[in-house]
Structure 1
Amino acid sequence: MDITIYHNTRCGTSRTTLALIRNTGVEPNVIEYLHNPPSREELVAVIEKAGISVREAVREKETLFKELGLDDPAVSDERLLDAMIEYPILINRPFVVTPKGARLCRPAELVLDILPLPQKGAVNRADGTPLIDALGQKVTQA
């Protein structure tokens, strides 16, 4: 099973997404993009496959986003891509690519739409709240 996650070990959403992938019994290709950033071509391909805009792929919460003036709506997609390549911390996460498609998995449960296999057991979010129950079913929040 060919599944790739662009992962940041310090991100709770990314860790939860990785746990959901592994909960299907599949060990994905984990790319720690801060240490092994994608090429510009790979980044563009993942963004396009996920069906989002370049601006949606930028992590706006990073201090660097404002420091570089990227918060100006007039900044072009090309400039945003240049910044993400130069500073991978600006790439929003986690991106997941499977045979069923690609998603920016914010929130983590968006990965469920593109996983080819079902969940096998319980998974909690990074904050400890249940996401998947012991039967592999999504927990609905009251």
Structure 2
Amino acid sequence: MIKIYHNPRCSKSREGISELDNINQPYEVIKYLENPITKEELIAILKKLNYKPIELVRTKEAIWVENFKGKNLSDNDIIEAMVQYPKLIERPIVINGNKAIVARPKEKIKEIL
């Protein structure tokens, strides 16, 4: 089943939900701010995305700028930051089996169907 890591307050995330509705395939919504992602889940997502941890960080987010910007951080440090502050995670993330994308723009979802 397709999964979408969703933040209802994010317009891009809502667009991802709308795109999935239009595709008319079942999907599971994971509201990752309410049900935080574990470190293990985040590592698995990064592998499916084929991303380095910093590529999944919203580097303009105030939490990042105030606490992490300009620091020499390891990949593990960045992962720990995203686990501690899930708002730092780029969204929406859509997963279909072993494939994943950050659905920006929403049309990218079709790449993993």
TM-score over 0.5 (shorter chain) = yes
1:4 is matched with which residue? Answer: 3
**Aligned-pair CA distance for 1:16:** 0.8
1:77 is matched with which residue? Answer: 75
2:96 is matched with which residue? Answer: 98
Aligned length: 113
Q: Is the 8 A contact 2:48 2:98 kept in 1?
A: no
Q: Could you tell me the TM-score, scaled by structure 1's length?
A: 0.74
**Aligned-pair CA distance for 1:77:** 1.0
Q: Could you tell me the TM-score, scaled by structure 2's length?
A: 0.92
The letter for the 1-side match of 2:63 is: L
Q: In 2 relative to 1, CA 73–109 (structure 1 residues): closer, same or farther, beyond 3 Å?
A: farther
The structure whose residues are more often helix, as a share, is 2
1:139 is matched with which residue? Answer: none
Q: Is the 8 A contact 1:54 1:77 kept in 2?
A: yes
Following superposition of structure 1 onto structure 2, how do residues 20-39 of structure 1 map, counting pairs within 5 Å? Answer: 20-39=19-38
**Aligned-pair CA distance for 1:85:** 0.7
Question: How many Å separate the matches in 1 of 2:16 and 2:55?
Answer: 18
1:9-47 deviations in Å (ceiling 9; x for gaps):
011111111111111112311000000011100111011
Question: How many Å separate the matches in 2 of 1:4 and 1:76?
Answer: 28
Q: In 2 relative to 1, CA 58–26 (structure 1 residues): closer, same or farther, beyond 3 Å?
A: same
**Aligned-pair CA distance for 1:73:** 6.2
1:104-125 deviations in Å (ceiling 9; x for gaps):
112222111112xxxxxxxxxx
The letter for the 2-side match of 1:76 is: S
Structure 2 unmatched runs, 5+: none
Which structure is richer in relative contact order (CA contacts within 8 A, separation 6 or more)? Answer: 2
Question: How many Å separate the matches in 2 of 1:113 and 1:101?
Answer: 9
Q: Is the 8 A contact 2:46 2:53 kept in 1?
A: yes
